[in-house]
Amino acid sequence: MSWDFLAGQFAAQFGLWWLIVPGILLGIVVGILPGFSPQNTLIMLLPLTLALPVEQAFAFMVSLYCANHLAGGVPAILVRIPGSGGAAATTLDGYPMTRKGQAQQALVLSFVASVAGGLITTLATLALLPWLSQIGLYLRSVEMVVVMLFGLTLIAVIAARDTLKALIAGFLGLLIGVIGTDHIYNAPRATFGFLELYDGVPLVAALIGLFAVSEALVMIEEKMIVAREGRERAMRASWADTLDGLRIAARKWWHIVWTSFVGLFIGIVPGAGASIAAFVAYQQSRLWSRHPELYGTGVPEGVIAPEAANNGVTSGTLVPMMALGVPGGTTAAVMMIVLQYHGMVMGPRLFQTDPGLAYGVFVAMAVAYVFMIFTILPFARYMARIVLIETTYLAPIIILVTIVAAFSERQYLFDMALALVFGVIGYIAHKTNYHVTAMLIGIILGPLFEQYLVRALRISEGDVLVLFSSTLGNVLWGLLVLSLVLPYVRRLRRPQTVA
């Protein structure tokens, strides 16, 4: 791959702005609405993408996909409703920033972290593609068990304030995650006779209920989302706040870089997704912070880490598809359908037979990120105004529209009722200080953890020691233990330092 080739690719992709910009705008709309996934949107748009030449179809699809990952953070920050599972961790610090009247800064931080994280990892992928494609081969079920545990330890991190309550919420989430058919015998488990639960608890319904509906029920008691002391600041918000957000993001550039690589490496593993990456990045960010106690109160790093990571995932997801012919996620699988329709055979040979397409996909992604920052950044100021709408109007709109959105993932009325049930559970949890994020971590990561664990145990015919059988796995175990022990060591050392 020569510089001339790359320059030609970039020039060609910039020429596709007329597809990239609509893709970005559609991706933003789909990302902001909980219940809409990029894969469903791409499936609906298949007649369009199949009709386009493959390079153009890909420019449109990756733009939509990347913008979707970016936009999920917008409702997470403004109204504590993650647009997707990958944005759930953003609520932890994004929403407290909004409550303090810093919604605009939080949005700018989220946009810059998403774009910079996505761009850096895409360029890294372009440069290191042959080597990165090997990572997926090394991270097998044994190693993925430990990666999942990294995410699950966030429950313990959240537990810092009330260990017992957060653990109860986390384990309740894990228990809810068990609902569905089991991975060995395909027998229904805790489905209570509902056929709709055979595929497990739908994530969108859980997300909407636990965050959107419960938060709207809580916000009824206040006039506005923004706390009284932050209201004046939110009303005075100007372009200076956008610049302030940019300044903070520039100061935290290293944080954006390393957390985006967490997303890239997790994204490369087929089946692992943005939710895991965002939770792991948030957990690691808090772990290595000098002030971990401030996380959850509205710190910029708490917004940067999950957003950079969930956009770092975007290029990682395409690596196994392009290099090995294995789709890294459902969106990649839809993209693969388009490629196969055009007669492309995925795998290592594609880089010799059609380098323009193989590398062009990642170049299109990089170009989409460049367009994205100019498309969305000016809107931060106006988006932040949403928090000034009175809850009298906002609460019913949130409850009814998100309940409608719960339908769109699987098209079952059952999911709307389930979202309402989760809303009531979330409200009770909120009011009694049981952390809903801990519950959601259990619901998202529990089934994945079980899936990898069962796969590893099946390969070893039930021998638990298989979990300690690989060098990389053991290194990850060591890091996991270190990440659990380190906060306590720090806490022990802190009084001595003060003394």
Partner 1 sequence: MLIGTLLVGLVILQLARIGRSLARGSGDLRMDPLWLPREALAKRVGMVLLTAAFIVALEWLGLTLALLVAMALALRLLGVRSPGTIAWVSCAVAGVVYLLFVAILDSAFPHGPIEQLLARLFA
Tell which one of 174, 336, 346, 376 touches partner 1 (CB under 8 A): 174
H/E segment holding residue 180: strand 180-181
Q: Is 2 in the site for partner 1 (CB under 8 A)?
A: no
CA torsion 339-345-346-349 (nearest 10°) is: -140
Q: What is the DSSP letter of 468?
A: G
The interface region with partner 1, picked from 241-249, 353-361, 390-398, 480-488 by CB under 8 A, is: 390-398
In the region spanning residues 13 to 52, those forming contacts with partner 1, defined by CB under 8 A, are 33, 36, 44
In the region spanning residues 422 to 451, those forming contacts with partner 1, defined by CB under 8 A, are 423-424, 427-428, 431-432, 446
Q: Which is nearer to partner 1, 35 or 273 (CB)?
A: 35
Q: Which is nearer to partner 1, 12 or 401 (CB)?
A: 401
Q: Is 224 in the site for partner 1 (CB under 8 A)?
A: no
Shortest Cβ 403–partner 1 spacing (Å): 6
Coarse DSSP helix, strand, coil percentages of the chain, rounded to the nearest 5 percent = 80, 0, 20
Q: Which is nearer to partner 1, 54 or 204 (CB)?
A: 204
Instruction: Identify the sign of the CA torsion 412, 413, 418, 419.
Output: positive
Q: Which two tokens stand for residue 348?
A: 């290592």
Q: Is 164 in the site for partner 1 (CB under 8 A)?
A: yes
Shortest Cβ 81–partner 1 spacing (Å): 15
For residues 450-464, one letter each, b for 16 or more C-beta atoms within 10 angstroms of the residue's C-beta and e for the rest, the string is bbbbebbbeeeeeee
The span from the CA of 168 to the CA of 178, in Å, is 15
Q: Which is nearer to partner 1, 115 or 438 (CB)?
A: 438
Q: Which is nearer to partner 1, 195 or 397 (CB)?
A: 397
Q: Which is nearer to partner 1, 124 or 213 (CB)?
A: 213
Query: Is 429 within 8 Å of 436 (Cβ atoms)?
Result: yes
Query: Is 381 within 8 Å of 74 (Cβ atoms)?
Result: no
Q: Is 116 in the site for partner 1 (CB under 8 A)?
A: no
Query: Is 43 within 8 Å of 334 (Cβ atoms)?
Result: yes
Q: Which is nearer to partner 1, 355 or 396 (CB)?
A: 396
Q: How far is CA 229 from the centre of its chain?
A: 31
Instruction: Identify the sign of the CA torsion 27, 33, 38, 39.
Output: negative
CB-count exposure of residue 123 (10 Å: 0-12, 13-18, 19+): middle
Q: What is the DSSP letter of 83?
A: S
Tell which one of 408, 460, 470, 474 touches partner 1 (CB under 8 A): 408
Q: Is 160 in the site for partner 1 (CB under 8 A)?
A: no
Using CB under 8 A as the criterion, which residues of the chain lie in contact with partner 1 when the complex forms?
A: 33, 36, 44, 164-165, 167-168, 171-172, 174-175, 178, 213, 216-217, 220-221, 391-393, 395-397, 399-401, 403-404, 407-408, 411, 413, 416-417, 420, 423-424, 427-428, 431-432, 446
